[in-house]
Structure 1
Amino acid sequence: MAKVGEAQAPEGARGALARGRARAALVPDLLVEARRIVNTVIAGWHGRRKRGIGENFWQFRPYVEGESIARIDWRRSARDDHTYVRDREWEAAHTVWLWADPSPSMLYKSTAAVTSKQARALVLALALAELLSRGGERIAWPGLVDPFTARDGAERIASRLIHASDLPAKPDLAAIRRFSDIVLIGDFLDPVEQTAEWLDVLARHGVRAHLLEVADPAEETFPYAGRTEFTDPETGEKLTAGRAETLAEDYRRLYLARREELAAWCRRLGWSFTTNHTDRLASEALVRLHMVLSADSSHVGRSAA
C-alpha cells in the first residue's frame, strides 16, 4: 500500500533539511509534553536488581561443587568450617532501543486529529526515554544515540534530534543484540513484506520488538467524497479521484488487512503490536508500552542471569 497524504513534501536534500528544521522546532515542546505525560500516568519505573555479574556485593552463600575456585571468598570461609562464595550484584538493566519514524508520511494531520503522526511518535519516544532513564535503564536510538545510562536520557535524545539535520528512514538494526528491546513507533504503511524484511535481523538476533502504529483517524475512515486529489508524500505521485467515496470500501479493507497481517507476523515472533490514534491520548499508548516492557523485563532477568 502506498503512503498517501494531502500535501506534497519537498523533495531531495532540501526536503530533508526542511523536515529536520521543522522537527527541531517541535522537539522542545514535545519534550515538555512527554514529561507531563510521564508524571501524570506513571509514578516511576523501577530498575531490576538480582544476583549475577556485577561490582557490588550481594551475599555470601555456600560453595557448590563444580563452581570455579576463583569465586571462593577465602577470608569469609576461614571464619568457620564452611566454604563460601561471594556473590556480586547484577543490575539487570538491558538496553531499550527507541525509534520514531522520520519519513514524510508522518507529517500528516487531518482535521479530525489533535496532532500530527510525527509529533505523537516523538512524544511517545521521549516519554519512554524519560520513563526508562528514571529507572536506570540503558537507552539508545539506532543511527542517532549509542546505548547510555543517565537520568536526563530524554533530554539527551531530544538534543540529538534537534541537531540531526537528516535521519535515515530505516536505520541499520544489525548492531542490536539479544536481551535487548526495541520500541518502533511509526505508521508502518509500507507493504508488510518490506517491513518484515527490514526487521528480520531483529528476529534473527533474538531481540524483542514492540511495534506501535500511529494512525490518523482519516487514514482509517477515508472521509473523502467528490473530486479529490491525493499526493504520496514519499514519491510525489498524484492520484485524482472523480468520486472519492467509491474508493472508500476497498481502501478501508486494504488498510486494515495490512495492519492485521503485520500484527499477526509480530505475534508469531512473540513481539507486541499496538495502535494509537492521533485523536486519542498519547498516555493510552504509553501505558500499554509500559505494560509490555514490564512483562518482558522479568523474562529478561531470568534469561540473562
Structure 2
Amino acid sequence: MARSPSFFQRLFTSRKEHDASPQLASLPELVLSARGLARQLRSGPHGNRRAGDGHEFWQFRPHQPTEPASLIDWKQSARSPEPELLWVREQEQHTPRSLFIWVDPSASMRWRSSDSLPSKYRTALSDALALGQAALLGGETIGLPGSRTRFSGHQALPKLAHALMQLPSETALPNFAGIPPHATLLLVSDFLWNDNVMQHCLARLTTHPGRTALLAVLDPQERHLPFSGSVQFTSCENEPELTLPATESLHDAYQARLTAHFDQLRTAGPSLKPFFRFHVTNQPALPVLADCHHFLRGRA
C-alpha cells in the first residue's frame, strides 16, 4: 500500500534539513548503545508460569516424601510457621519465544528539529536494538516482517542492526505475511500516517493474535506545537510546501487532533488493545524501554 505524508509530517518536516540516511559506519556505535541499554533492562528468559528447569523463581511448594533432600530450600523451611513442613523452590519453565521487529525507514523519520537532537530514525533504531538485545539475552529468536532470516544468540545484535538498516526508505508498512500467529510484534515509527494508511495497519493488527507493542518516536516539536506567527513548512517526502499564518492559534486544535490520531492505536479494535508508548527524542530512553521490555516479556 502506498504511503503518503500525513498532515503532521507536512507540518513538521520543515525549517531544518532532515538527516541523511544513517551510514553503516554508525553501526558499531548503535550496537554499543543498545547493549548498554539492554544490560540496564536486566533481561532474563521468558517464563511460562509453570515449573521447569529455568533460572527465575516461580513459587515454593511442599517437599514430597519421594523427592531427594537436595531439593529442599532449608532457609525457607526454617522460616515456615509449620516446623514439620519442608519447602522446595520451583523455577519457571523457559521456552524461547519469537519477537518480530519493524523500524519505520521512511524519509520523514530522518527528520530532527535541532542539530542537538538525534533524528527520529536513529532514536527508533536505538530503541528497537536495545529491546532486541534484551530479547536475545533472554534466549528469544528475532525476525523481521517479510524476511525469512532469524537472529538468535547473544552475539547476533550486529547482524540484526545491519538488517534493520537495510530496509528501503520507501517501505511503507511492515509486511505481516509470514509472522507466526503467536509471535510478539514490536513496531517502532512516528505513526504520523494519513488515515488510509492508519486504517490499513490497524486492520492488519487486529488479525494478529500475538502480543503487539507500538512505540511512537516523535520529535519534541511534533509532540507539542511550538510555533507562532507565519511559518512555511516543507516536506521530506516531496509534498507541496505549506504556509500557515498565526500558527499560535492552532495549538489547541493540533493537540486535539494529535490525541485523536494516536487514540486509534491505543484502542485498535474491540479485541485488540496493543501496548502503546511515546518516546520523544529529547527524553531519556530507559523509562520507556523498561515499560516496553516488561510488556514484551509477558509481564504486563
In the alignment, structure 1 residue 133 sits paired with structure 2 residue 160: no
Change in CA separation of 1:122 and 1:151 when aligned onto 2, cut-off 3 Å? same
In the alignment, structure 1 residue 285 sits paired with structure 2 residue 284: no
- Which letter maps to 1:238? E
What's the counterpart of residue 74 of structure 2? none
Deviations 1:219-275 (A, max 9, x none): 122111222111222233210123322332322221122112321226840321111
Q: How high is the TM-score relative to the length of structure 2?
A: 0.73
In the alignment, structure 1 residue 216 sits paired with structure 2 residue 224: no
Q: 2:241 aligns with which of 238, 242, 255?
A: 238
Q: Could you tell me whether the CA contact under 8 Å between 1:26 and 1:119 is conserved in 2?
A: no
Change in CA separation of 1:250 and 1:199 when aligned onto 2, cut-off 3 Å? closer
What's the counterpart of residue 14 of structure 2? 6
Change in CA separation of 1:166 and 1:273 when aligned onto 2, cut-off 3 Å? closer
SS in 1 for 2:206: helix
Mapping of residues 34-73 of structure 1, within 5 Å: 34-39=34-39, 41-48=40-47
Q: Could you tell me whether the CA contact under 8 Å between 1:116 and 1:278 is conserved in 2?
A: yes
Q: In 2, distance between residues paired with 1:113 and 1:259?
A: 27
SS in 2 for 1:204: coil
- Structure 2: stretches of 5+ with no match in the other structure: 1-5, 53-92
Higher helix share: 1
Q: How big is the shift at 1:289?
A: 0.7
Q: How big is the shift at 1:286?
A: 1.1
Q: How big is the shift at 1:202?
A: 3.9
Mapping of residues 135-284 of structure 1, within 5 Å: 135-144=138-147, 146-163=149-166, 168-192=171-195, 194-265=197-268, 268-284=271-287
Change in CA separation of 1:8 and 1:175 when aligned onto 2, cut-off 3 Å? farther
Q: 2:111 aligns with which of 108, 113, 125?
A: 108
What's the counterpart of residue 82 of structure 1? none
SS in 2 for 1:214: strand
- Structure 1: stretches of 5+ with no match in the other structure: 53-89, 298-305
Q: In 1, distance between residues paired with 2:115 and 2:266?
A: 25
Change in CA separation of 1:198 and 1:221 when aligned onto 2, cut-off 3 Å? closer
Deviations 1:165-214 (A, max 9, x none): 65623131121122111010110011355223224334324132111111
Q: In 1, distance between residues paired with 2:235 and 2:103?
A: 20
Q: Could you tell me whether the CA contact under 8 Å between 2:142 and 2:150 is conserved in 1?
A: yes
Q: How high is the TM-score relative to the length of structure 1?
A: 0.72
Q: 2:126 aligns with which of 116, 123, 127?
A: 123
Alignment RMSD (CA, Å):
3.0
Q: In 2, distance between residues paired with 1:234 and 1:221?
A: 22
Change in CA separation of 1:158 and 1:112 when aligned onto 2, cut-off 3 Å? closer
Work out the number of aligned pairs and report it. 252
SS in 1 for 2:252: helix
Q: Which stretch of the first structure deviates more once superposed, 231-240 or 274-283?
A: 231-240
In the alignment, structure 1 residue 30 sits paired with structure 2 residue 30: yes
Change in CA separation of 1:282 and 1:211 when aligned onto 2, cut-off 3 Å? same
Q: Which stretch of the first structure deviates more once superposed, 138-147 or 160-169?
A: 160-169
Q: In 1, distance between residues paired with 2:159 and 2:286?
A: 22
